[in-house]
Amino acid sequence: MDRPKSHRPERLPSLWRHPALMLATGLGSGLSPWAPGTCGTAVAMGIYLAALQALPLWAYATFLAAAFGLGVWACDRAERLTALHDPGMLVVDEWVGYWLALLPALAQGHAGWQPALTGFVLFRLFDILKPWPASVADRRLPGGFGTMADDVMAGAYAALAMLLIF
């Protein structure tokens, strides 16, 4: 009897040999068997609380732009290595989308766990719902840019909501 085909490859390339996979999987957080996107976002929240919220706004925005560029490269490379398009294990897009959601709160001087948690909930909500045009980007944009784009759009929606809240 044939085994059912999995949406994941039989053997993933080693994360340690491929820095792009390490980054794209959110330092391995996207390999969680349960809700990898949520686990990846939780790791991003920890990074935000531990280090990013202390950055001046210009440095945070510069970091965010650099993280997006690195994310496009890493996701593109990871998709080629795994032969999968936007698999759930790639969570650097969640990281960047979540950090974008927090930009308005940070710009208004709000730091700490309350905006971090609010941003987490809002980002996950918009990431799951994928309102237009995120839904179109999710289906139609190819490669690493497409993988990153829908989550960045979800982060932008969450940022608008954060702007209203904070």
More confident residue, 139 or 63: 63
16 has a pLDDT exceeding 70: no
State pLDDT tens for residues 71-115: 999 999 999 888 887 788 999 999 999 999 999 999 999 999 999
Distance of alpha carbon 158 from alpha carbon 163, whole angstroms = 9
Lowest mean pLDDT among 24-28, 120-124, 140-144, 145-149: 140-144
pTM: 0.88
Average pLDDT of every residue of the chain:
88
Burial tier of 61 (Cβ tally within 10 Å: 0-12, 13-18, 19+): middle
